[in-house]
Amino acid sequence: MSVSMRPGATTRPEASISRRAPQPSRRPNAATGPGEAAPTANGGAAGDIASETLTPRELELLRYMAEGYTNKEVARAMVLAEDTVKKAVQTLIAKLGAVDRTHAVVLGLRQHLIE
């Protein structure tokens, strides 16, 4: 079988193999049923923030995230450095037990933290 290649292309199979680290699966935990939250590292359920309350500033950040603001836009609105906003978003995601910023907004809406 002949495969045409562009000039200068390598024929080594390892050249096309991705070397990225494996990403965690976002599939529901087999131990939980549909609609049930998977346990978090601190032993609570994902999205259960009963043990950790959000500060007024974190709630403000969550509202901006729900409106679809970028980190740069949030930084301007809240008068913060963009790196500070990035760290605050990471902290907020961790507190809510979310996997990403969209999930954090969904959890905030479900728990009536924001409208």
Let me know if residue 107 belongs to a domain. Answer: yes
The CATH number for 95's domain is 1.10.10.10
Total domains in the fold of the chain:
1
Find the domain containing 88 and state its range.
Answer: 54-115
Let me know if residue 19 belongs to a domain. Answer: no
Tell me the pLDDT tens digit for each residue of 33-44.
444 444 444 444
Tell me the pLDDT tens digit for each residue of 58-89.
999 999 999 999 999 999 999 999 999 999 99
Q: State pTM to two decimals.
A: 0.58
Flag whether pLDDT at 20 surpasses 70.
no
Flag whether pLDDT at 56 surpasses 90.
yes
Let me know if residue 44 belongs to a domain. Answer: no
Q: For residue 75, what are the CA distances in angstroms to 51, 69, 82, 95, 100?
A: 28, 10, 5, 20, 19
Q: Long-range contacts of range 19-24, CB-CB < 8 Å, 24 or more positions apart?
A: none
Let me know if residue 28 belongs to a domain. Answer: no
Rounded to 5°, angle at Cα 79 from 86 and 69: 55
Let me know if residue 96 belongs to a domain. Answer: yes
Cα–Cα distance for residue pair 60/89, rounded to 1 Å: 11
